[in-house]
Structure formats: structure tokens, C-alpha cells
Structure 1
Amino acid sequence: MQEYYFLFILAFIFTTAAVIQDLKSREVANWINFSFIAFALAYRAFYAIQISQIKFFALGIAGFVIFFALAHLLYYSKAFAGGDAKLLMGYGIILPYQNYSSLPIFTITFILLLFTIGALYSLVYSAFIAAKNKEKFKKEFYILFKKYKLISIILLLLSLATIKFTTLSLFFALLFLILIIYIYTKSVDSCMIILTPPSKLTEGDWLISDVKISKSKTIRKTVHGLSSNDIKLLRKSKRKILIKTGIPFTPAFLLALILMVSFFLTSAVSPEQIFSSLFSQLFFLS
């Protein structure tokens, strides 16, 4: 397992750099992610040649391909920004696969770990956003709760009325909780829509709606966000526009990496057993 220590160190260095930049400027430069991917693949290639086992390199390529597909899926579904998606590709290379059959085990477990930590982190972060924009959050929450008030009351009453039937009562309670979480999330989202001057725009910023610059030119809202050319046009027009900001997700990668590596360093069992243990704990927590 020592052959993976260098990959873990690489991941820690580049993820830390990504976190710092993400928190400062709300973007992750391509050079950070591409350097991470290049160094990780180069190490696997060099080590594979040194030990005369091409499988060590092939497993890294296979992991990269799987995470490349996952990253694109998350990017186009707007779950991840571009920087997060590219960082995820790098993690496909550094996971300690032992054989081809372990690829799905490590992939599924790491994604579950990442999203569990990400959900907890996002919940805490969103609470700070709600507190920072208290009045706006309260106003939006009240509007949405009023809109779904009748459904909320019905679900709550059904949960109480079926309390003797545990499964059914829990089902209605869960639906009620999901509705409240939806209202909370939409209320937080409203706090993340910011009127931004052109000078502070960055590539990848998400428009709330299409922006008409002139009679013949309109900047379209796309999954890719603003391009450098879009920003130039907006700066020429000197118009402030509404931008949807997101929660910086790179800290979740760093926390997931630290938790994963701590398992490897403190456990004497195989990687598959470690990830199975992580999976069991995540399932229990959920």
C-alpha cells in the first residue's frame, strides 16, 4: 500500500490549493486540476515501469475514465461546477484500486463518502448564508411555506394519525421533512442570487436568465456559465447582472480525502475491507 502514499500526498497538496482558491475567488483554476491529473498519471506510469506491472497504470486510467464520465454527468446536471468536476477526475486516478473488480467498490464508496460529507458541510455552510441574509431568507421561507402550507399540514396530520402504524407514520413524516428541506433549500438559493458588477464577473458564473446586450446580441444562460467573451461584452455594456453563486464544494473533497487516508493509515485490513467498513458506516448514518 505504500505505493499509494505519494498519490495521497499529491491529492492533499492540489486539493488544498483548490480549496484556498475556491474560498477566495469562488473558482478553481484549470492549471491546478490539470496538474493534479498529469502528476498522478505520470506517477502511476513511472511506478508501473519501475515494478514492471502495467496494471498499476491501467487501473489509474480505468479509474480516470469512470470518474471522467461521473464528472460530466454531475457537471451537466448542474450538481458540480467545472472546477469541482475536474477535481473529481483526478480522484479517479489516486484511489488505491487493487484489481479491476475493485474499481466499482472504490468508486461507489468514495462517491457516497464524498456526498455524505458534502451534504453535512453544505448544511452547515447554508446555515451561515441564511444567518448572514436573515431578512431575505425569512421573507422567502415565509412565502414558500405559505404556498405549501396546506400540504405541510396534511402530511403532518397524516403522520400523527397513523402513529400506531410505524412504517406509514414514518413515511408521511419523511415526506413532510423533504418538503421542509425543499423550502429551506429554495430559500437559501434566493440568498445566493447576487447583483454583480461586470468587473467582478469570472468565467463559469451562472446567469439567472438571458441577458440582452443589444438588439442583435443576447448572452444565453447555459450550463457552462459565462465565457471570457461573454464577460468582455458585459464589461463593455457596464451593466450589473444577476448571478447565481454556489456553495464552494472543494472543502468536501479535502474532508473526504482526510477521512479516507486516516482509515488506511490506522487500519491493518485490506483496502476493500476498509471501503466496505466505510460503506457500512455511511449506510448506518443514513
Structure 2
Amino acid sequence: MKSDAKVLGAIGFLMPFYSWLALDVASLYVAFVINLFLVGSVYMIFYTLVIGARNKKILPAFAKSVKGDVKTVFGIPVACVLAATAVINMIGFSEPAMVIVVFFTSLFITLFWKYAKVIENVAFRRKIAVAKLREGDVLFESKKWVGLTKEEVQKIKRTRKNVVIKEGVRFAPAFPLALVATYYLGNIILSFMVI
């Protein structure tokens, strides 16, 4: 987390020194943030899929999670379709394809949410000896993604032998990818709107 923040801070500091694509500094920042969100989303999906492919425990755990919560998996898309249909009827806009898009989009998001939870619980948890515990590590039992302070690490080392920590997506590569996208495309959303 700290390394990601440092990379983002460095990019934010250097941006004003470059006038790419005839953008002013404010527009450049906006374009980069939007691109970071889009590129980061694609990167995270790809990253978690690779993790799932490499860890044989993921797919069985994912299948079990979906099977055990079918009502949620299909209930959310159905609720989204009903809400979308109500809005469409309210504004007098008739487009059946929109309902299909809403259903499959919400189904994908719901399934990916379940998949991400499995990744977090199976692949992103690691039991270590307290001797290896470091400042900034996040305990798996913690509900907040807040790293341990130096004092907390010392306290844990005095009271435990082992702890379970949680890891996360190594997000740092998404920053240069978003930077390259900003350099060549500007704001990705605006670029696709023009096309």
C-alpha cells in the first residue's frame, strides 16, 4: 500500500512538468485518474484471474461459494433488471436490449465480487511466524485495511507465535499502464466517445 501511494505521489508531482496532448495540468490530472480507474479495473480482473488459474484451491472454493449463495448471485441481477425496467418505463424509453445488458453486466459484477472474496480468503491470506511480521502488514482478522504500526508489531511478537496476514493485488504496475494510456490516448472515455 505504501509503495502504491509513493508511485502515485511521484507521478502526481511530475505531471505538471509535462504538457502532453496540449492538456492543461487540471485536465491531465483528470484524464490520468479516469484512466487509472479504467486500466486499474482491467488490470485487477486480469491479475485475479491469473491468481485463480495458478491456485488449484480457487475454482472449487468459488464454485462452492456460488452454489451456496444462488439467491444472491441471481437475485441482484434480477433486482437490477426490475429497477432498470421501471426507470425505462418511467422515461418512456423502449429498448429491450438494454435490459439484457443490465442483467448480464450485474451478473458479471456479482460473480466477480464472489470470486474476489474467494481470492481474498484463499489466496491472499498467509500464516507466518511473528518473527517475520513487519510494520505495514495487515492482520487477516482486521476488518479495516490498515497496516500495523511498529508498536503493534512489537506487542504481537510478545503475545503470539504465529499470525495470519492478508495480502492484496500488487497494484503498482497499473500506474505506468495508466500513464502510457494517458500519453497516447488522453482521456480514454472521451477518445472512445469521439470514435
Taking structure 2 as the reference length, the TM-score comes to: 0.74
- Residue in structure 2 matched with residue 275 of structure 1 by the alignment: 186
- Residue in structure 2 matched with residue 228 of structure 1 by the alignment: 150
8 Å contact kept, 1:195–1:240: yes
- Residue in structure 1 matched with residue 14 of structure 2 by the alignment: 94
- Residue in structure 1 matched with residue 5 of structure 2 by the alignment: 85
5 Å-filtered alignment, 1:108-119, equals: 108-119=30-41
Task: Pick closer, same or farther for the CA change 1:242–1:140 going to 2, 3 Å.
Answer: same
Inter-partner Cα distance in structure 2 for 1:105 and 1:227: 37
Q: Which amino acid aligns with 1:231?
A: V
Find out whether 1:145 has 2:66 as its counterpart.
yes
Q: Which amino acid aligns with 1:280?
A: L
Inter-partner Cα distance in structure 2 for 1:103 and 1:257: 14
- Residue in structure 1 matched with residue 100 of structure 2 by the alignment: 169
Inter-partner Cα distance in structure 2 for 1:284 and 1:85: 33
Inter-partner Cα distance in structure 2 for 1:173 and 1:227: 43
5 Å-filtered alignment, 1:254-273, equals: 254-261=176-183, 263=184
Inter-partner Cα distance in structure 2 for 1:83 and 1:105: 25
Task: Report the aligned-residue RMSD.
Answer: 3.1
Taking structure 1 as the reference length, the TM-score comes to: 0.53
5 Å-filtered alignment, 1:154-193, equals: 155=77, 165-190=96-121, 191-193=123-125
**Displacement after TM superposition at 1:198 (Å):** 1.5
Aligned residue pairs total 176
- Which ranges of structure 1 fall in alignment gaps of 5 or more residues? 1-80, 211-220, 264-273
- Residue in structure 2 matched with residue 20 of structure 1 by the alignment: none
8 Å contact kept, 1:113–1:282: no
**Displacement after TM superposition at 1:152 (Å):** 3.7
Q: Name the SS for the 1:134 alignment partner.
A: coil
Using CA pairs under 8 Å that are at least 6 residues apart, name the structure with larger relative contact order, 1 or 2.
Answer: 2
**Displacement after TM superposition at 1:84 (Å):** 1.4
**Displacement after TM superposition at 1:124 (Å):** 2.1
Pick from 123, 130, 149: which aligns with 1:198? 130
**Displacement after TM superposition at 1:92 (Å):** 1.7
Task: Pick closer, same or farther for the CA change 1:185–1:222 going to 2, 3 Å.
Answer: closer
Deviations 1:86-116 (A, max 9, x none): 3212222211359xx9343212210122222
- Which ranges of structure 2 fall in alignment gaps of 5 or more residues? 86-94
